Amino acid sequence: MRLRLARPLTDFINMLGNILLIVAGLVLLVWGADRFVHGAAATARNLGVAPLLIGLTIVAFATSAPEIVVSVNAALRGDPDLAIGNAIGSNIANIGLVLGCIALIKPIQLTSATLRREMPALLAVSLLTVSLFLDSYLSRVDGLVLLTGLIIVMVWLTRLGLRSSANDPMMADYEAEIPRNVDTKIAIFWLIAGLVMLLGGAELLVDGAIEIARQLGVSDVVIGVTVVAIGTSLPELTVSLVSALKGEYGLAIGNIVGSNIFNLLAVIGVAAAIHPTALAPSVLSLHIFVMVAFTLVLFSMTYDQVSKNSISRLEGAALFAAFVGYISYVSIQNV
């Protein structure tokens, strides 16, 4: 009788411990991402880099830091499925959860010409990722293709930032948000401290996620597209929500678009380069196509800024409902 009671109790304690690991990891990831972005942006400003250029490259890359660090950690442990699920799930969460919630709270005005030029890049990167997935195997060559794409996009965003009109509303948004009057030594301190917190948070999060997946008997992909993806999207949710409430709409959407581009090119690219892997069947049959569908919806909502100048509350509700439906379906299928 004692043995029968002891096993469920032990399982419960282990599950609780793993949940606490995930929570602690997420706290470190969110705080670390905030400090990392602050330090990186302040350092770049002190070096004379233009605010819009900082926003389009450094901030967009830094807000994807949780996903990138988790991806590297998971791939090094031989769990690339967790990294791939995290990247795909984070893109879905950024559009469905983050953008949906923001639009529900406050309709998002579409006024930036720079953002209009970024959207086709996100669509192209998404289609490139799908094409590499079609053979159901992610090789080192595929990873290098994605990382090469990352370099090309970084160069393109740099040129975009330098050529963008001085009266683009997104420029004013970044000008207001990039830290100023921060001593370079302090900025570098926060840059390093944020990176250390990201590394520690990723370690705890991956530990807890892998153990929960094993206890529940679900795949790493499922944990990646649900728990880990939602958790690592919290920095984007925080930055975009605060920006939208301040009326900095270009920054709110630009942060999501930039993060999604980096998630696919950097997160999946790094995972494949470190640990080539066969893709789980559910990636091709469900997750990647849901991600592309959300991306196409975002493209249709933001690209035509002439006849349509905002994302309404109704559209935000539709995005959020679609995200809840997707997460519910994945959860029910894996109970």
Q: What is the pLDDT of residues 98-127, one digit of tens each?
A: 899 888 888 887 766 667 778 888 999 999
> For 39-82, what is each residue's pLDDT tens digit?
888 888 888 877 667 777 777 777 778 888 888 888 888 888 88
> What residue type is assigned to position 246 of the chain?
K
C-alpha span between 314 and 76 (Å, rounded): 42
Instruction: Tell me whether residue 211 is in a domain.
Output: no
What is the Rg, in whole angstroms, of the alpha carbon atoms belonging to the chain?
Answer: 20
- Higher-confidence residue of 66 and 270: namely 270
Q: How confident is the model at residue 221 (pLDDT cuts 50, 70, 90)?
A: confident
CATH of the domain at 86: 1.20.1420.30
Please check the confidence at residue 306 and state whether its pLDDT lies above 70.
no
What is the pLDDT at residue 69? 83
For range 175-190, the mean pLDDT: 83
Instruction: Tell me whether residue 11 is in a domain.
Output: no
Write down the pTM of the prediction.
Answer: 0.85
For residues 67 and 90, the answer to whether their CB atoms sit within 8 Å is yes
Of 67-71, 162-166, 199-203, 291-295, the poorest mean pLDDT is in 162-166
C-alpha span between 68 and 56 (Å, rounded): 17
- Higher-confidence residue of 96 and 58: namely 96
What is the pLDDT at residue 212? 82
Q: Cβ-count burial of 271 within 10 angstroms (0-12 exposed, 13-18 middle, 19+ buried)?
A: buried
Q: How far is CA 168 from CA 20, 67, 111, 245, in A?
A: 44, 29, 8, 19
- Higher-confidence residue of 171 and 227: namely 227
C-alpha span between 64 and 255 (Å, rounded): 10
What is the pLDDT at residue 4? 54
Q: How confident is the model at residue 242 (pLDDT cuts 50, 70, 90)?
A: confident
Q: How confident is the model at residue 170 (pLDDT cuts 50, 70, 90)?
A: low
For range 149-170, the mean pLDDT: 76
Of 34-38, 112-116, 328-332, the poorest mean pLDDT is in 112-116
- Higher-confidence residue of 83 and 10: namely 83
Q: How confident is the model at residue 5 (pLDDT cuts 50, 70, 90)?
A: very low
What is the pLDDT at residue 6? 59
C-alpha span between 159 and 71 (Å, rounded): 28
> What residue type is assigned to position 199 of the chain?
L
C-alpha span between 259 and 236 (Å, rounded): 8
For residues 295 and 91, the answer to whether their CB atoms sit within 8 Å is yes
Percentage of the chain beyond pLDDT 70 is 88
Q: Which domain holds residue 233?
A: 51-174+216-333
Instruction: Tell me whether residue 157 is in a domain.
Output: yes
Of 32-36, 121-125, 306-310, the poorest mean pLDDT is in 306-310
Q: How confident is the model at residue 128 (pLDDT cuts 50, 70, 90)?
A: very high
What is the pLDDT at residue 139? 95
Closest to 264 (Cα-Cα) out of 164, 122, 66: 122
What is the pLDDT at residue 100? 92
Instruction: Tell me whether residue 114 is in a domain.
Output: yes
Instruction: Work out the mean pLDDT of the chain and round it to a whole number.
Output: 83
Instruction: Tell me whether residue 283 is in a domain.
Output: yes
Closest to 258 (Cα-Cα) out of 89, 146, 117: 117
Instruction: Tell me whether residue 78 is in a domain.
Output: yes
Number of domains in the chain: 1
Residue 8 makes CB contacts below 8 A (sequence gap 6+) with none
Instruction: Tell me whether residue 188 is in a domain.
Output: no
What is the pLDDT at residue 308? 63
Closest to 100 (Cα-Cα) out of 316, 301, 256: 316
Instruction: Tell me whether residue 208 is in a domain.
Output: no
For residues 243 and 59, the answer to whether their CB atoms sit within 8 Å is no
Max avg pLDDT among 5-9, 38-42, 91-95: 91-95
